[in-house]
Structure 1
Amino acid sequence: MLRKKTPTFLFPIAGFALTILAGTILLHQRFSLTGEPLGWVDALFTATSATCVTGLAVVDTGTAFSTAGQSVLLALIQLGGLGIMTYTSLIFYLWRNRISLTDREAVSQTLLHDPKFSLGHFLKHVVLGCLLIEAFGALALFLLDPQGFAPFSALFHAVSAFCNAGFALQSDSLMHWRGNIGVNAVFMGLIVLGGLGFVVLLELAEHATGKHIRAGGSSFQPVGRLSWHARVVLSMSVWLIIGGALAILVVEFLLHSGQYAPGEELLGSLFQSVTCRTAGFNTMDIGTLSNVSLLVMMFLMFVGGAPGSCAGGVKVTTLRAMTAFCVARLKGRHQAVVGNFALDESTMNGALTLMMLATGVIALATLILCVSETGAVPHAATRGQFLEILFEVVSAFGTVGLSTGITPELSTTGKLTLTALMFVGRLGPIVFLQVLQELYTQEKFRWAEKRLPIG
């Protein structure tokens, strides 16, 4: 009797779950803390937030955790940023000099979304490249402000920024450096690089060096133009960053602010637009922003970064596909066109499914938090709280980590809900849909079709 093959997408889920469990146990220990004990729910929440590179925190990271505890968080962020299966497969590759089909498919599910991609040289260059980027980022932060960013602090923040985690060792995140162009530039550079996707990063490196890195090439070879995928990711990223920055600048500073200097206003708007790519740092007090700015930031958090990156969200490619779909329908065109290519049926089905699942998950989580945090309290007594809850939910789903300040005050039910949401957001709702679909037998027939009036 043949044994049924274990679905490969279960391996990343199991890997993340086991890592979170180990992190929870370690963060609960006395050696990880500086003072008051950390409850199991708070330890689970923090471990999930670090492994899923979110950044939401129920305690102050810089004061509640010892150096050992912060080191545990750093390890969880690094593991979660590239994905557990990436490191596991790399270890086995270096050990056996080959990668099994199961390893290949599991990494492809979470990192590449392309099971046919050759992983040998790719894995080595991805990990080494990411470590080099983080090392340069840490060195730059240390040189720019040796007192504010001691060696360990510089490394912690560089890894947190590149992995789009958003954990900071200061209680006010990066507000102390809101006018420091150098520090802001380093953080924004790390965040953007971490959110572009590892395939795009290696492609950019190939064009810079003239070497076909992904194929293991070491000699100079002519490299053609960027791939269609890379161009879509880069163009969408630029438009979202610039559009978000302009929206925040106009609404928050030009209309009614005045509390920051003009240079800080421009720099702060750009930084917040970048960090909404699921990084979670802030140079402005999120709790004092206008409703319009929060709505703009929620849209940016919902979209997130690129596929196969450290970022969460529904991804920029999904937004581009949905935009092309809407344009095609308005023009009466049967195909959704992006650049010089039409998107195939599987791509559009995936984009539509992901958008529906993401919207449904956010709506359900918001409903649960409204019940757990406000209960039967009249609406007049909870004005503004719905937007704060929705912002928190979108931030958790997009693995961003930005908050209006309500995270530590959430009930146990609220914290557990956000914990599950961060886990789903990091792995992607599509992965869990695949798990459910595996439980059902594929139908071998087609149902009779009939037209239903719409609209």
Structure 2
Amino acid sequence: MKAKASSPFWVPIYAFFATILVGGLLLKLDICHPGKELSLLDAVFTATSAVCVTGLAVVDTGSFFSRTGQSVILALIQLGGLGIMTYASLVIYLMGKKVSAADRIAVSQTLIHNPSFNMGKFIVGVVTAVLSIEAIGAFLLYFMDPKGFYPFSAVFHSISAFCNAGFSLYSDSLTSWSEHLGINCVFMALIFMGGLGFYVMTEIWQIFCDLICKRNKKVKAHAMTWHTRTVLETSIFLVIAGAVALFLFENMKAHPDAPYGISKIGALFQSVTCRTAGFNSVEISNMTNIGLIVMIFLMLIGGSPGSCAGGLKTTTFRAWLAFIIAKIKGRSQVVVSWYALSEENVNRMLTLLALASVILCSAIILLSITEGSYLPHSQARGHFIEITFEAISAFATVGLSTGVTPELSNSGKTIIITLMFVGRLGPVWLLTAINSWQSEPRYRLPEDDLPLG
């Protein structure tokens, strides 16, 4: 039993839980919010949102917390962005100690889902690259608007953007810069890079270096691996398709005086930030239902494997799409680009979709009970889509909200905390950890076919 409890699949769960607990206790201290009361549940909620890089907040980060409290939140975001195990293993590596096999498996599964890699070099390279990108982002934000993004604010928002956290020091997030092309581009670049995955970023950088070193030589075809190409193609497609959909649907006014609408840059920004970042340059509560549905779809997909982003991941969406196409065409193989997915890979994708559906449906039902089950339908119209939006935003670690987060009951906050935690780890990871406690029975039952459909 002790060996199963110390399984490497449980190590990130323990690490995240411990960090959330410590972060919650720190945020509860008066020094983080002098003269203001913050319940332990709200402190844990904020810590969970930061560590799980979600961005949902029960209090305004900029006005409620002191600089000390904001610094604690920033540290939790940075820790959660790359994963607690990454930093722990980095410290061990820099101290010259041997990294255990358990840590190797845990970090490799978190970052690139490949246990056969040079862990020390990879982690040092990733952390160095991330800190460099965040530093460049902070400098650009400060350079473009020194008043709005003073040094601490620039650093805070750059880290929050790259880690796809969505925490902002401004109560209206980024709506004040909704038409500022430069600020929008910096945030979109940080969010996009943070959601690609560290393996993809490393490979792109290597390809770029090779092109610079061998610019006079003929570049080989298919320089990118299958994984990297799939991630990039799917990510770019989702950004463009999401932006077009949001621009069209939000500007289809039912009458000339309709109070909603969105600009092209606003639609593009929201399409990018829906992929688990959580910043908003438009007021979410003023968006149409069809616009919210588009955003829900984008939030569910999320970023890519091994990144700061959450969601079901772009590769899962691409595999699901290929699975549907294969069934329509009557093919036995599920093909993505020039490779066919293994049966185990397809089963993993279907398991992930099934688990996510069960978790989200259960959470939405529970939230409907805790957040206004006493209201008749005539009075609760619109409430269901707000609860659904909130639940999916938490599960996909996005952080966008229609404004119901501060109004949640204690039971509702507990449900959202659980969704953020499970969503950050991933339902398949959680299932794998639970399965590590189980054993396969040593017998087989007779098989038969059950009529379906």
Quick check: TM above 0.5?
yes
Which digits, 9 at most, give the CA deviation of each residue in 1:274-319, with x for residues without a partner? 0001000000000010000000000000010000000000100001
How far has the Cα of 1:432 moved from its partner?
1.4
Q: Does 1:32 align with 2:35?
A: no
1:443 offset after TM fit, Å?
2.4
Determine the C-alpha separation between the residues in 2 that align with 1:422 and 1:310: 13
Please say if residues 178 and 268 of structure 1, whose CA atoms lie closer than 8 Å, have aligned partners that are also in contact.
yes
Bigger CA drift: 109-118 or 412-421?
A: 109-118
Match of 2:437 in 1: 439
Q: Give the deviation of 1:451 after TM superposition.
A: 1.3
8 Å contact 1:58–1:408 — kept in the other structure? yes
Q: What is the CA distance between 1:261 and its match in structure 2?
A: 12
Q: Over residues 51-91 of structure 1, what are the superposed CA-to-partner deviations in whole Å (9 max), with x where a residue is unaligned?
A: 00000000000000000000000000000000000000111
Residue identity matched to 1:174: L
1:18 match = 18
Q: 1:124 to 1:260 in 2, by over 3 A?
A: farther
How far apart, in 1, do the equivalents of 2:138 and 2:325 lie? Answer: 43
Q: CA deviation at 1:3?
A: 5.6
Letter in 2 for 1:400: V
The answer to whether 1:171 aligns with 2:171 is: yes
How many correspondences in the alignment? 447
How far apart in 1 are the matches of 2:407 and 2:5? Answer: 44
- Specify the alignment match of 1:235 in structure 2: 233
Contact 2:30 2:36 in 1 (8 A): no
CA distance in 2, matches of 1:401, 1:248: 18
- Kept after mapping to 2: 8 A contact 1:210/1:222: no
Give the whole-Å Cα distance in 2 for the aligned partners of 1:144 and 1:138. Answer: 10
Contact 2:4-2:437 within 8 A present in 1 as well:
no
| Cα offsets for 1:370-409 (capped at 9, x unmatched) | 0001123211121110000000000000000000000000
- Is 1:352 the counterpart of 2:357? The answer is no
Q: CA deviation at 1:4?
A: 5.6
Q: Which residue of 2 aligns with 1:253?
A: 251
Q: Which secondary structure does the structure 2 equivalent of 1:379 belong to?
A: coil
Superposed CA deviations along residues 195-240 of structure 1, whole A, max 9, x for unmatched, are 000000000110111299xxxxxxx998870100000000000111
Quote how far apart the aligned CAs of 1:448 are.
2.0
Task: Between 317-326 and 113-122, report the one with greater CA deviation.
Answer: 113-122
Q: Work out whether residues 260 and 287 of structure 2, in 8 Å CA contact, stay in contact via their aligned partners in 1.
A: no
Find the counterpart in structure 1 of residue 411 from structure 2. 413
Classify 1:182/1:244 alpha carbon distance in 2 versus 1 (closer, same or farther; 3 Å).
same
* 1:302-355 deviation line (CA, Å, top 9, x unaligned): 010000000000100001111111111111100100011100011111100000
Q: Which residue of 1 aligns with 2:379?
A: 381
**Uncovered stretches (5+) of structure 1, i.e. residues with no partner:** 213-219
Aligned to 1:84: 84
How much does 1:109 deviate?
Answer: 2.1
Residue identity opposite 1:20 in structure 2: I
Spell out, residue by residue over 1:139-191, the C-alpha distance to the aligned partner (whole angstroms, 9 max, x if none): 00000000000000000000000000000000000000000000000000000
> Distance between the aligned counterparts of 1:258 and 1:233, measured in 2?
41
CA distance in 2 between partners of 1:21 and 1:120 (Å): 28
- The answer to whether structure 1 residue 154 and structure 2 residue 163 are counterparts is no
Please state how far the C-alpha of 1:260 moved relative to its aligned partner: 9.6
Q: Is the 8 A contact 2:55 2:399 kept in 1?
A: yes
Report what 1:110 is aligned to. Answer: 110
For residues 5 and 377 of structure 1, do their structure 2 counterparts lie closer, same or farther at Cα, with a shift above 3 Å needed?
A: closer
Deviations 1:407-451 (A, max 9, x none): 000000000100010000000001211122123211234332211
Query: Which 4+ stretches in 1 moved above 4 angstroms?
Result: 1-5, 220-224, 256-262
In structure 2, distance between residues paired with 1:290 and 1:221:
50
Shift of 1:258: 8.0
1:183 paired residue number? 183
Name the CA distance, whole Å, in 2 between partners of 1:244 and 1:442: 44
Moved more, 393-402 or 113-122: 113-122
Change (3 A) 1:350 1:88: same
Aligned residue number for residue 390 of structure 2: 392
Gap regions ≥5 residues in structure 2: none
Secondary structure of the residue aligned to 2:12 is: helix
Amino acid at match of 1:368: L
- Aligned match for 1:301, one of 299, 302, 307: 299
Query: 2:281 is matched with which residue: 271, 280, 283?
Result: 283
Q: In structure 2, what residue type is equivalent to 1:404? A: T
Q: Matches of 1:201 and 1:294 in 2, distance apart?
A: 30
Tell me the distance in 2 between the aligned counterparts of 1:44 and 1:221: 55
Structure 2: distance between partners of 1:242 and 1:325:
23
- Aligned CA RMSD, in angstroms, stands at 2.1
Decide whether the 8 Å contact of 1:55 with 1:167 is kept in 2: yes
Contact 1:211 1:221 in 2 (8 A): no
The one-letter code sitting in structure 1 at the alignment partner of 2:307 is S
Q: Does the Cα contact within 8 Å between 2:49 and 2:56 map onto a contact in 1?
A: yes
CA contact (8 A) 1:166 1:281 kept: yes
Identity of counterpart residues, as a percentage?
51
Q: Distance in 1 between matches of 2:175 and 2:339?
A: 44
Task: Tell me how far apart the structure 2 counterparts of residues 368 and 187 of structure 1 sit (CA, whole Å).
Answer: 35
Q: Which amino acid aligns with 1:396?
A: A
User: C-alpha separation between the residues in 1 aligned to 2:243 and 2:185?
Assistant: 15
Structure 1 pair 2–133 and aligned structure 2 pair: CA distance change class (3 A) = closer
Q: 8 Å contact 1:81–1:164 — kept in the other structure?
A: yes
Distance 2:27 2:100 in 1: 34
Counterpart amino acid of residue 318 in structure 1: T
Q: Give 1:2 shift.
A: 10
CA distance in 1, matches of 2:202, 2:36: 44
Q: 1:98–1:120: 8 Å Cα contact kept in structure 2?
A: no
Counting only pairs closer than 5 Å after superposition, residues 120-159 of structure 1 correspond to structure 2 as 120-159=120-159
Q: Mean Cα displacement is larger for which, 109-118 or 314-323?
A: 109-118
Residue 454 and residue 3 in structure 1: after superposition, are their counterparts in 2 closer, same or farther (change >3 A)?
Answer: closer
Give the structure 2 partner of residue 338 of structure 1: 336
